[in-house]
Amino acid sequence: MTPFTPATPPADLRRALLAWFDARGRDLPWRRGPEGARDPYRVWVAEILLQQTQVVRGLHYYDRFLAAFPDVHALAAASEDAVLKAWEGCGYYARARNLRRAAQHVAAEGFPSTYDGWLALPGVGPYTAAAISSLACGEARAVNDGNVRRVLARVHGEERPTEAWVQARADALLDPARPGAWNEAVMDLGATVCTPRSPHCAECPLAAACAARASGHPETYPAPKVRPAVQDVHAVALLIGDEERAVLERRSGSLLGGLMGLPTEPLAAGEAAADALARVCARLGARPGPLLGQVTHTMTHRRVTLHVYAADADAPRQSVAQAALSRLDVKALALPAARRGSLFAG
């Protein structure tokens, strides 16, 4: 048995991690098919779905999405509304819109067969191009995601790894004989053993080679990223109708763009809700009703508080169930039912 050290040769690390992966790797629905030659559509959908999304969560959406759009032609032919409905609640909705747009290109031109070809598609960046080209095309490309960053930072004892540093280490360590399996192995290790807050070093095939493990505090690698402060935002929203049929507007712009939602009006700093209420009522020709309540929703970078008012207007209602809504609007639409519930609860 080779004694590991922080300078363990790549061949020994590869052997140890791939043996672990072959025995303990996760069985996931997008991993069907021969190693290095997976179904590109299934891999692609999974990789987009899993961007900044944990696997256990992605699993639910993956099955629904593939049932709704079984192949790239079905996805290319679908409406944006239908695709967003399948994505509803999953967040980062530009992923769904880019995926559909890219599917229209692929349906016409065929699947890319190289890293560069995948990288050219909207919504596909360096990580995703490396993942698909290694898993579906057998190309020797090393992925660099949050798992890879953490595993490599710990193995090498690097507290502040830059993107370039991680990519260089990942490139050097990639197993050229089994690039797809190697990429999956590092990610599986990061997701199930080398976890952020409490790594399970006793189960780790790389423990003997790990500098962070040797330090006695593996969980401190890598150092936390600095994140911008959460901003507090307020807005008035109108519920014209009820929780089943209501006046909905299509949101535009980068925030929840493409989704439907209650008509809203932002509240300037220090402004009274009544002023924003008057503005949105004027815009819609609506008569304001009583305040139904407030809902708050945190979206990583901002905390939105919606002041929801009932209102009446001669405007067409839409089916709430058929619209793609954000969680914020789902909460707002639940207010009438919550009020009825509290009435009975006393």
Partner DNA sequence: AAAGCGGGGTG
Partner DNA sequence: CACCCAGCTTT
**Residues with active-site annotation:** 47
Look up residue 99 and give its two tokens.
């995926």
**Interaction between residue 104 and DNA (CB under 7 A):** no
Residues 6+ positions from 332 with CB-CB distance below 8 Å: 237, 239, 262, 295, 306, 308
Cβ distance to DNA smaller for residue 126 or 288: 126
Give, as ranges, the residues between 296 and 315 that touch DNA (CB under 7 A): 297, 299-302
Shortest distance, CB of residue 90 to DNA, whole angstroms? 6
**Interaction between residue 254 and DNA (CB under 7 A):** yes
Give, as ranges, the residues between 118 and 137 that touch DNA (CB under 7 A): 122-129, 131
Cα distances from 196 to residues 54, 67, 161, 203, 217, in angstroms, run 13, 33, 15, 15, 12
Where do we find the tokens 């490309």?
Answer: 141
Nearest CA among 322, 318, 136 for reference residue 242:
318
Show the binding pattern over residues 52-81: x = contacts DNA (CB under 7 A), - = does not: xxxxxx------------------------
Cβ distance to DNA smaller for residue 4 or 199: 199
- Which of the stretches 4-12, 86-94, 166-174, 236-244 binds DNA when contact is defined by CB under 7 A? 86-94
- Which of the stretches 84-92, 108-116, 173-181, 332-340 binds DNA when contact is defined by CB under 7 A? 84-92
**Interaction between residue 161 and DNA (CB under 7 A):** no
Binding-site member from 15, 64, 105, 327 for DNA (CB under 7 A): 327
Cβ distance to DNA smaller for residue 79 or 254: 254
d(CA 52, CA 265): 29
Cβ distance to DNA smaller for residue 187 or 246: 187
d(CA 8, CA 11): 8
Binding-site member from 139, 158, 184, 265 for DNA (CB under 7 A): 184
**Interaction between residue 195 and DNA (CB under 7 A):** yes
Cβ distance to DNA smaller for residue 104 or 315: 104
Binding-site member from 193, 209, 239, 256 for DNA (CB under 7 A): 256
Where do we find the tokens 């192995």?
Answer: 185
DSSP letters spanning 64-76? HHHHH--SHHHHH
In the chain, the DSSP E strands lie at: 231-239, 245-246, 249-250, 260-261, 264-266, 287-298, 302-312, 318-319
Q: Measure CA 175 to chain center.
A: 28
Query: Is the preceding omega at residue 224 within 30 degrees of 0, hence cis?
Result: no
d(CA 100, CA 83): 7
Cβ distance to DNA smaller for residue 67 or 229: 229
- Contact at 8 Å (CB) between 338 and 293? yes
**Interaction between residue 31 and DNA (CB under 7 A):** yes
**Interaction between residue 101 and DNA (CB under 7 A):** no
Give, as ranges, the residues between 212 and 241 that touch DNA (CB under 7 A): 222, 224-225, 227-228
**Interaction between residue 98 and DNA (CB under 7 A):** yes
Angle between helices 55-68 and 80-87 (to 10 degrees): 150
Binding-site member from 20, 93, 182, 309 for DNA (CB under 7 A): 93
Cβ distance to DNA smaller for residue 56 or 345: 56
d(CA 231, CA 233): 6
- Contact at 8 Å (CB) between 62 and 41? no
Q: Kindly list the residues in this chain that would bind DNA in the complex (CB under 7 A).
A: 26, 28, 30-31, 46-47, 50-57, 89-94, 98, 122-129, 131, 145-147, 149-150, 184, 187-188, 190-191, 195-198, 222, 224-225, 227-228, 253-256, 297, 299-302, 326-328
